[in-house]
Structure 1
């Protein structure tokens, strides 16, 4: 693995990323590449990098997992902004970097995203035609979630509160940075926060299971307004022409990945190859790192990427697989 930082001419800050290489990597050759997009409140060292990124690199892809702008080890001020437009633009910025690398085949680039990253990956694919295939792992439409559960189903009140807070901060008051999860599973239980997605998110992000320094699970409240007017799936019927695979667990939680996955699969009618992978016994956060559901997902998405990114195993690999 190689850690890198880069910036584009249109950026005032840098993007931090980890590049993972396939076995017997030879920088004189051309490889298909996959951009791995982390969830809302996550970082590159968590599921996007150390689970799906690692597994895809082992299968022959160059994989780049990166921290979103304003988050993790990437630059941008103020910190902890979750702006869907920036999150989607980051994917294009990462592709801009990839196409400068001599060992990346610019015609064989895919994207995978987890949770909110899945929604961002799909949205980027609508207009970023350098993306040749996209996989969403328990993907969530962050705009829909903010309009509903994250605003207590009162988006206008949320927008009014954000506006008032931003005015306070513009006048020099302290920023309001929301902590999105309880401090521990025990704290979640004590507070009665036992809904599946909330509790399992806490178990992932607030324990050694998934906790990483860059995965802050925080959000700058005053700068979240645009999220409520954003839709990951807008114009999908017309613009989502590339192959798309949607992987979702059937153990439903409040964040709505099952609902969103069914919706985008149904709407992706222009895709040249749309596939839905339903994992009956597994939940949203099981798909972050639990070995069995992750392996079930990989059994579907690895051949999907290999087919659409034209990764042909050499004779030795084919014989070993047989």
Structure 2
């Protein structure tokens, strides 16, 4: 594995990325490449990198897992901004870097996104036709989630609060950085936060199971306005022409991955090859790192990308 700093000419900051290589890697050859995109509040050292990037590299792909702008080891200030437009632009910038690598075949590039990353990769694929195939693993349309559960189903109220906070910060107030999860499973139980996705997210992000320094599970509240007006799947019926694989778990949680996965699969009517993998016994966060559901997902991801890349 090689860590690199990606600095495009039009960027004021770098993106930090890990490149994982296939067994017997030979720089004189060219390989199909996959870019993996991490969830909201995550980092490249978690599921997008240490699970899906590593698994696909072992199957013969060059895989780039990176930290989003303003997050993890990537640059950008202020920190912890979750801006969907920027997140999608990051994907194009990583592709810009990938096509300069002599061992990457520029005509064989695919994407895998997990959770919010699954929504971002679908959205990027609508207009970024250098992407030849895309897979969403328990993908979430983060715009829909912000308009609903993350705003307590009061998106206009949330926008007014964000506006007031941004004005306060412009006048010198301290930044409001919202923590998305309880600090521990015990704290979640004490507050009665036992809903499946909230509790399982805490189990992943706040325990040694998945906890990493870069996976901060926080957001700068005052800069989240644009998220509420964003839709990962807009124009998918017309623009999502590339092959698409959607992996969902049927154990439903509040973050809506099953719902979003079924929606984009249904709307991907222009895709040359659309596939749905619906795993009956597994949940959203099981697909982050649990060996059995990850193996089931990989059983579909590997032949899908080998057939299209």
Match of 1:87 in 2: 87
Match of 2:291 in 1: 291
Are 1:304 and 2:304 counterparts?
Answer: yes
Deviation at 1:9, TM superposition (A): 1.1
Name the CA distance, whole Å, in 2 between partners of 1:33 and 1:199. Answer: 34
Deviation at 1:118, TM superposition (A): 0.2
Match of 1:64 in 2: 64
Deviation at 1:10, TM superposition (A): 1.1
Name the CA distance, whole Å, in 1 between partners of 2:62 and 2:190. Answer: 44
Deviation at 1:6, TM superposition (A): 1.4
Name the CA distance, whole Å, in 2 between partners of 1:6 and 1:92. Answer: 12
Query: What secondary structure, in the 3-state scheme, does the structure 2 residue paired with 1:226 have?
Result: helix
Match of 1:313 in 2: none
Are 1:279 and 2:240 counterparts?
Answer: no
Match of 1:319 in 2: none
Are 1:165 and 2:155 counterparts?
Answer: no
Per-residue deviation, residues 241-273 of structure 1 (Å, max 9, x unmatched): 000000000000000000000000000000000
Deviation at 1:162, TM superposition (A): 0.2
Are 1:183 and 2:190 counterparts?
Answer: no
Name the CA distance, whole Å, in 2 between partners of 1:57 and 1:162. Answer: 41
Match of 1:128 in 2: 128
Count of matched residue pairs:
309
Name the CA distance, whole Å, in 1 between partners of 2:277 and 2:48. Answer: 19
Q: Which consecutive aligned stretches of 4+ in structure 1 deviate over 2 angstroms post-superposition?
A: none
Equivalent residue runs for 1:80-229 within 5 Å: 80-229=80-229
Name the CA distance, whole Å, in 1 between partners of 2:284 and 2:12. Answer: 35
Query: What secondary structure, in the 3-state scheme, does the structure 2 residue paired with 1:131 have?
Result: coil
Deviation at 1:92, TM superposition (A): 0.2
Name the CA distance, whole Å, in 2 between partners of 1:179 and 1:154. Answer: 19
Name the CA distance, whole Å, in 1 between partners of 2:217 and 2:28. Answer: 39
Match of 1:78 in 2: 78
Match of 2:43 in 1: 43
Deviation at 1:107, TM superposition (A): 0.1
Match of 1:266 in 2: 266
Query: What secondary structure, in the 3-state scheme, does the structure 1 residue paired with 2:175 have?
Result: coil
Name the CA distance, whole Å, in 2 between partners of 1:19 and 1:163. Answer: 39
Name the CA distance, whole Å, in 2 between partners of 1:222 and 1:198. Answer: 23
Per-residue deviation, residues 198-242 of structure 1 (Å, max 9, x unmatched): 000000000000000000001000000000000000000000000
Name the CA distance, whole Å, in 2 between partners of 1:47 and 1:69. Answer: 18
Name the CA distance, whole Å, in 1 between partners of 2:49 and 2:20. Answer: 9
Per-residue deviation, residues 71-126 of structure 1 (Å, max 9, x unmatched): 00000000000000000000000000000000000000000000000000000000
Name the CA distance, whole Å, in 2 between partners of 1:224 and 1:9. Answer: 26
Query: What secondary structure, in the 3-state scheme, does the structure 1 residue paired with 2:164 have?
Result: helix
Tell me the C-alpha RMSD between the 2 structures.
0.3
Name the CA distance, whole Å, in 2 between partners of 1:148 and 1:6. Answer: 34
Deviation at 1:19, TM superposition (A): 0.3
* Unpaired stretches in structure 1, ≥5 consecutive residues: 310-322
| TM-score, normalised via structure 1 length | 0.96
Name the CA distance, whole Å, in 2 between partners of 1:271 and 1:301. Answer: 17
Name the CA distance, whole Å, in 1 between partners of 2:301 and 2:84. Answer: 25
Name the CA distance, whole Å, in 2 between partners of 1:14 and 1:112. Answer: 21
* Unpaired stretches in structure 2, ≥5 consecutive residues: none
Query: What secondary structure, in the 3-state scheme, does the structure 2 residue paired with 1:272 have?
Result: coil
